[in-house]
Amino acid sequence: MRARFAILIALVLSALPLAAQDRATLVADSVAIAGDNRLVADGGVEVFFRGARLRAARIVYDRGTDRLLINGPIMLEDGGQTVVFADQADLRADLTEGILQSARVVLNQQLQLAANEVQRIGGRYTQLGRTVASSCKICEGDPTPLWEIRASRVVHDQLERQLYFDNAQLRLGGVPVFYLPRLRMPDPTLDRANGFLFPTARATSRLGYGLKLPYFLALGPRRDITLTPYFTSKGARTVELRYREAFRTGQITLNGAVSFDDLRPGRRRGYVEATGAFTLPRNFQLSFRGQVVSDPAYLLDYGISDADRLDSRIEITRTRRNEHVSARIIAFNSIREGDINANLPSLVTDLTFHRRFSGGPLGGEGGFRFQTHTHRRASDVAVDSDGDTIGDGRDVARLSARVDWRRSWTMTNGIEATLAAEGAADLYAIRQDLLFAGSTTRLHAAVAAELRWPWMKAGRGGVAHLIEPVLQIVATPSDTENLPNEDSVLVEFDQGNLFALDRFPGSDAVERGFRANLGLSYTRHDPQGWTLGLSLGRVLRDNDLGQFSTASGLNGAQSDWLGAAQLTLPAGLALTTRAIFDDGFDLTKSETRLDLAGEKLAVAASYVWVTADPVENRSLPISELTFDTSYDFDSGWTGKLSGRYDLESDRGTIAGLGLEYRNECMAVDLSLSRRFTSSTSVQPTTDFSLSVDLIGFGGSTAAGPSRVCRR
């Protein structure tokens, strides 16, 4: 019969020193005492001591030398994230010092260090002679890891969580590629440590070949800084900086770079961006972002961003049930070709208070919104690049209040009837405008009645059909406005606002006149997992007030038709299309999107066509195709392909190609992109980037799927 003993008392009385009493436990199949000084444990031996755990086939404790002679297989866990495997060992009784033969050290279940001999020193250091370190899985038929570091000696400092390599040699697929006489790297349990990070290679047609070598410096538990020098073959010299600091209630991040290159000889180029987010009392949230750039092409030249209009802002918000409060200040700076910042609203402020509440004796639900808005242009008089006057540097301040109410009833025949109403008052103060200068008050109101009659039918096999006709009548004043429209020039006509009381996206314009909104939708739900939705709608007006542009599809006494379709299939395929067309089926605007999320293939593609419209500052139609695809190959490889093609001008605008490899021990990201567009400040550019990360050191990138061994 297998006898397992928990013999703490036996150890305390007959073996372990007094300092170890009440701290050690031994469990084994059999335990015997040989002579006066030796205790022998055989079969499934386990020792628990001060958080450490030792497993072995046989342990002999010599009280005279206070040492353990251990036969394997041996597994020693230190109570943290270090595990040692060995064949034989000679250790002190407290497991803090000694030698292990034919040993393997595993850190954080990731990085493995194998050596013929491992020495434990002072319970803090683990020293390995002639070591092979890797986090890669090896197979019986292919014992060479994807990467490995060979060293004459490795010391692991468990307190500082650092690894020190002597005569380190990096091998890829067994081939030596790099040598360093001394190398220090963090162990996998350490997220932040001073030192160099893995480099990134980048090559562009404008800057040439270059290498980024970031250096991370921890400034304490809450702050750190990363400095990245970047030198290229065409003489560009750059230093990038990232500073981060965490506070009790939030965090800030500062990014920036300074560059000298031949693209703008003799000029210092660069950018600065600061972001932050904090939690304030009473559940308010504070966020801010600041952006400054030296010239319009810098962000694109150095692959930082493709933004062409920068906004710096500070915002305070709070969102609760039935309430939203926000206040913000925004400073805009355009780096788009043809834009003159003095003519654009460069400083904007907004304050919004929005609350929903019960309709009280009227029933239903009501809402109240109070808002202030200002925007200011830097110039007093707007001029073009030649200095000719083209308008005024209009500054606007607005104070708005709006109330709304909505209530629905369901009749006995299944018809859903809804009444809705809203009223708004706006006070405008306008300066530096030839047509609209002065103070203006605007009052606006709308009432609506809506009928929805859903018809549902159950078909064979559990198929469900739903048809819903909708009629909405809206009445608002028809008087014309005498206000500049700056925030509602671009209007979208879609399923989301077909039955809206006001289709303008901003506050400067409101939809007026008596109108009927008509719609019909059909939905088919199939138990096999696919769904089809179709909808058709139109707006009829008693009078054309000329409020909307041609491209919106809402102009005229009768709007264009709005048609939409959605198809969802169980294989992860979704197709969505929306089209606006007139009675002759001539398109005004159309958009089609295809999404596929399969096990291996993912596709996101769209096609957009919009007619030309001078009101929307578009002299030519837009006809553009975009796509973004990825495919997961076997063994951790992923291919990516993306692009944007302008069918109107018959040329590409952006193209991208990428290849990524990720497994349990390595991540490789290779990308190639080409930007075809050009302007006076931005030139066509080809960009190549390569980054390699050896997983298993410090807070490196997350591991991918493990290598699969083939028989």
Q: What is the DSSP annotation of 139-159? A: BTTB---SEEEEEEEEEEETT
Helix (H) or strand (E) run with residue 10 in it: helix 8-14
Please list the residues that pair with 402 across neighbouring strands.
369, 424
| CA distances from residue 444 to 247, 369, 403, 473, 481 in whole angstroms, order as listed | 47, 14, 11, 17, 11
CB 563 within 8 A of CB 593: no
pLDDT at 495: 92
CB 558 within 8 A of CB 580: no
How many helices (H) and strands (E) in the chain?
A: 2, 44
Q: Output the CA torsion sign for 609, 613, 614, 617.
A: negative
pLDDT at 123: 79
pLDDT at 72: 78
> What's the number of CA atoms in the CB half-sphere (13 Å) around residue 299?
18
How many CB atoms within 10 Å of residue 456?
Answer: 11
> For the chain, which residues score pLDDT lower than 70?
1-23, 381-392, 679-681, 698-701, 710-711
Backbone angles phi, psi at 703, to 5 degrees: -75, 150
CA distance 433 to 107: 70
- For 367-416, how does the pLDDT look when each residue is reduced to its tens digit (9 = 90+)? 999 999 999 998 876 555 566 665 668 899 999 999 999 999 999 889 99
> What's the number of CA atoms in the CB half-sphere (13 Å) around residue 674?
9
The Cα diameter of the chain in Å comes to 113
pLDDT at 391: 60
Tokens 């699969």 sit at which residue? Answer: 708
- For 161-186, how does the pLDDT look when each residue is reduced to its tens digit (9 = 90+)? 889 999 999 998 889 998 999 988 88
CA distance 460 to 278: 56
DSSP characters over 471-527:
EEEEE---PPP-S--SS-SS---STTTTT-S---SSSS----S-EEEEEEEEEEE-T
pLDDT at 13: 34
DSSP characters over 22-91:
TTEEEEESEEEEETTTEEEEEEEEEEEETTEEEEEEEEEEETTTTEEEEEEEEEEE-SSSEEEEEEEEEE
pLDDT at 681: 66
| CA distances from residue 36 to 32, 47, 71, 307, 372 in whole angstroms, order as listed | 11, 21, 22, 81, 91
Burial of residue 96 (CB within 10 Å: 0-12, 13-18, 19+) is middle
Which residues have CB under 8 Å from 214's CB, separation 6+?
A: 196, 197, 199, 226, 227, 228, 240
CA distance 386 to 376: 23
Helix (H) or strand (E) run with residue 594 in it: strand 587-597
CB 302 within 8 A of CB 266: no
CA distance 641 to 403: 49
